[in-house]
Structure 1
Amino acid sequence: MQLASSNDEALQELTNFVLSDVALTQKILRLSNTVSYRTASGRQISTISSAIFLLGFDMVKTCALAMLLVDRLPDNNHAQSVRFELAQALRASVIGRQLARRSHFPDSEEAAITALFKNLGQLLVASHDHDVYNEINVLTHAANLTPARASIQVLGCSYDQLAVTVLQDWKISDTLIHALTPLSSRTLKAPLNRQEWMAQVASFSAEAAGLMPHLYDAKQLTDNQALVTRFGAALNLDKAQIDQLFVAASEEAHILLDSMGLLSVPDKQAELPSDTDSSAENLLNDFLLASPDPDSQPTISCHPSGKPINAHALLLAGVQDVTQMMGSGHGKLNELIMQVLETLYQGMGFRFATLCMKDLKTEQYRARVAIGESHAARQAGFRFSTTSTNDIFHLAIKNNADLMIADATATKIYPLIPSWHRQLLPDTQSFIVLPLVIQEKVLGLLYADRSLLAPEGVSADETSLIKTLKGLLLAALNSR
């Protein structure tokens, strides 16, 4: 939730965040490879870096949050109600993202996340105490109360207040939490600032999400006009624009819901409540996100070292992705660097990979971008002097030699490993060092390692693809 914008650091952190969860990685890749998003070439997207380049930073971040909500809410006997509220949250998020694209406010993509959380209170109550959820629904329909009033009567607090309490416990930013504040029911005026705009988007998105399943019903003509009356001036939307927004958002939401198995969710139907003494305070004890079940995560066929059996195919896909990114003219240098690092990391099964650049001011080689296990701490400590010594890094740089070490404990290799590396990465068993040199000018190096031996080595075809990746990176660095 600290990833507020798509700057270089945030891009690195989002990539690492997704890659740290295998199940989440697979879901983002599956979404990227749907018909609506796949590239014109029809090639499969195989890395999160490519997914971010294709879908956009904001969409991947919001989708990742939504997928974590889906995965980490408890499975129970009231799945239909939970699925309904999840679908509503996801539809609202998509609508929020559509509105963010029209906005002039900075970091407007946060509106999609705020919209995602707008009905968090309903979602959590449906998941954790279905009897209370049904009782509130009965009051809403039978007594003609608003959900806010009905939830206050049953829980002692409104759904929105419950959501705010939980989000504060989750350490969500105050900006997002304040945007969940309920708005008046009267016609809204144009927002004076970004905070007001986010609150308006969150409310509009939540109301509009409830209408999306009935997109072509006659009743929605009246409901859409009500949205225009209340939000039109504030969000600069007329009837035609709202209709267009609904069509675009419905298509995008359909893809997202399908990727999560949430299509064909029936409308909410209230059931007769049973006696309960549950309260908002008691419910809060169950609202911490649970860890995902590791048994549910997919397995990948690998050598004992962790290197994928299909390393050649993964490397080839990465080379193609980098080539396409460079050819498009739209890829930023840091996006390309992340793509190269992730291709090495995923394609060869490394546990840590980094780009190390020469720093003339400090006369050091310093890690600038990193990916993988404990990437932040290892990036901070991965630095060494530019003064040449007889260690494996300086030997590789001096000779511009790509080194692929299958056994770092071998008698010929171990004495060449410098003390700083042994302290930072004491359990390294296999690694690669790829110097980055252009016309005898040293720029830095690529490094990646494993904590296991790699007796299978690196095939000639794999070596060729790794060198191609390095060459593409050098070309990009040389052109900037």
Structure 2
Amino acid sequence: MHTPDAPNADKTLDLIWERIRQRGDLPGFTKAISAVLGAMHGEEEREFNMTQTVMSDPGLTQKVLRLANSAMYSAFGQSVGTVSKAVAVLGTQTIGHLALGSKLIDELSATAPDTVGARLEMEKALLAGHVARQVTSSANRHHAEEAVVCSMLHMLGRMMVAFYLPDRWLQAQQDSEKTKRHPDLVAQEILGLSLEEIGRTIAQRWGLPNSLINSMRMVEPMALAPNEKIPHAEWLAAISSMTSQCASALCQDDASSDTEILRLADAYAGMLGIDTAVVLKATESAKKTAESELRAIHSTKHSNAEKRSRSKAVSVEPAAVSILQQGVTDMRAIVDSATPSQMLEMGLETLYQGLNFRRAIAFLRNIKEAQYSAKMGFGAGVSALIPQLIFHDVYQADVFHAALASDRIIFVENAQDPKFAAKLPLWWQNGLSAATGFIILPLTINRQPVGFMYGDWSNVAPNTKPNSVEFILLNDLRALVTGTAERRNTTTTFSAPATH
């Protein structure tokens, strides 16, 4: 590995950090991925954290559901309609890589670099990601999303220098043309360290997983013995090396492009365990997809806000019954294998989406501490509220204890009615009093309350009383949640995450 010249290397990195402070990180990527990385690194709570992270982004939600229902995962059987089930089917690592790739693509697509060089490098990164997805999908590999992220990050050093140090980047390109030497080698002499080293240094600063950072290196193709396979880490580095070079070749747009892509496909196919024909077909398909996407980006970038506003004004909310039915179907499909925590999460998500709640929160009872406390939730500001939502389990004359004691769903149409105030406990008034209406779904095992699901509306979300069909589905939903825990013969199997 190259040992950088300390003075030039330090000055280059210091200048990049300074430009980042001035202009913002690439651009805002660190903020976008922090929640994803947190969910990937978590322990017991990671599945719910990932669900919460995905659901905060409607575009990402649709990508996750499409992937879960794709042919690659068709062996899992029934359709997937909730993010919670998608997380259970695909796993947090696959969805985490999909989220990272999606966030990076969104940030690159939304960026308008000041220079042609920076824009070209970002478009190459997008193209490399498309090539990786097409290649792995065509070969039916289950590491597609990880390969996409690695392929885009392979270009990170080039993107960062072109974006934040455009003068140095231009100098490297010009010197390369004069000396007929590779631009990366010229850039290394100018910057004091290689573009790979810059990319890995920034990735480490972002806190990306080591598996991704380790893939950010050029791996030369090598011949393998029959049936020989390379370790997964080497496979990621190899496919990233191939896709980044394919992207550069595609951007040349001259007669040598096809020849170079054929050479790369022949060189890497055996090492990757993929046929040359698959690589060539996937590369061509990726080029068309990327060209279409980039045209759309450039033509709509300045009118997106207006279109979103117009679309929102005429959009119609999906029918509650349809969403509730799909959620209950998803829960039934995995009831024999899911944990009580997973079922609680899926049930809460279904309520949140189906009844268009402003907030949906699950409370669990701790018998030893004689209290109920919030454990998970969806909606704006819920994470900050959860630690505050605690109350004693001794019966009080309020609407929540009434629901728990009767084991019946209670719908409160007007929580702001002064006549109803006496039935609202202090903990609700302190944390949830902005709600104009709410529903309580008690969870009971062997006639003993173990918790409840709560959802509320505000003035901007109509709190229409659920109809009879919806009430049937709500009762089915809570029966599935409690039934899973009951079969485990203990209420302590609800190992929901603590606070977020």
Same fold (TM over 0.5): yes
For residues 175 and 381 of structure 2, what CA distance do their matches in structure 1 show?
Answer: 50
Identify which of 317, 323, 329 aligns with 2:326. 317
1:441-452 matches, cutoff 5 A? 441-452=448-459
**Does residue 161 of the first structure (1) align with residue 197 of the second (2)?**
yes
In the other structure, the counterpart of 2:396 is: 389
Contact persistence 1:91–1:249 (CA under 8 A): no
Alpha carbons of structure 1 residues 254 and 419: separation in structure 2 relative to 1, 3 Å = farther
**Structure 2 stretches lacking a partner, 5+ long:** 1-36, 224-230, 250-257, 295-302, 489-500
- Deviation larger for 126-135 or 333-342: 126-135
Matching residue within 401, 407, 415 for 2:408: 401
Encode CA deviations 1:181-203: one digit per residue, 9 max, x unaligned.
74787989xxxxxxxx7864553
Partner of residue 290 from structure 2, selected from 262, 268, 290? 262
Matches within 5 A, 1:49-64: 49-64=84-99
Residue 158 and residue 420 in structure 1: after superposition, are their counterparts in 2 closer, same or farther (change >3 A)?
same
| 1:410/1:337 CA distance change after superposition, 3 Å | same
Distance apart, 1:418 and its partner CA: 0.8
Please report how far the alpha carbon of residue 60 of structure 1 lies from its aligned counterpart in structure 2 after TM superposition: 1.6
Other-structure match for 1:468: 476
Which letter maps to 1:376? S
* Cα distance change, pair 316–141 in 1 and its aligned pair in 2 (3 A): farther
User: Structure 2: which amino acid aligns with 1:438?
Assistant: I
Change (3 A) 1:129 1:435: same
Cα separation, partners in 2 of 1:199 and 1:440, compared to 1, 3 Å: closer
Structure 1: unaligned runs, 5 residues or longer: 103-108, 189-196, 229-238, 267-291
How far is the alpha carbon of 1:125 from its aligned partner? 5.2
Shift of 1:441: 2.0
Please say which of residues 217-226 and 16-25 is displaced more in the overlay. 217-226
Per-residue CA shift, 1:275-318, capped at 9, x if unaligned?
xxxxxxxxxxxxxxxxx976665866899xxx945112111111
Residue 357 of structure 2 corresponds to: 350
Q: Of 466, 486, 497, which aligns to 1:478? A: 486
- Code of the aligned partner of 2:476: T
Give how far 1:223 is off.
4.8
Asked if structure 2 preserves the Cα contact closer than 8 Å seen for 1:6 and 1:57, the reply is: no
> How many pairs were matched up?
423
- Indicate the percent of aligned positions where both proteins have the same amino acid: 22
Instruction: Assess, with a 3 A threshold, how the Cα gap between structure 1 residues 467 and 244 changes in structure 2: closer, same or farther.
Output: farther
Letter in 1 for 2:411: M
Match in the other structure for 2:156: 120
Q: What is the SS of the residue equivalent to 2:40?
A: coil
CA 1:460/1:181 → structure 2, altered by over 3 Å: closer, same or farther? Answer: closer
1:129-208 alignment runs, 5 A limit: 145-146=181-182, 148-153=184-189, 157-167=193-203, 171-173=206-208, 175=210, 179=214, 182=217, 200-208=234-242
Whether 1:413 aligns to 2:420 is: yes
Is residue 19 of structure 1 aligned with residue 55 of structure 2? yes
Distance 1:302 1:355 in 2: 32
Answering whether residue 370 of structure 2 is matched by residue 363 of structure 1, we say yes
Structure 1 pair 184–319 and aligned structure 2 pair: CA distance change class (3 A): closer
Give yes or no for contact 2:132–2:240 (8 Å, CA) kept in 1.
Answer: yes
What is the DSSP-based 3-state SS (H/G/I as helix, E as strand, rest coil) of the residue aligned with 1:408? coil
Q: Is the 8 A contact 2:407 2:444 kept in 1?
A: yes
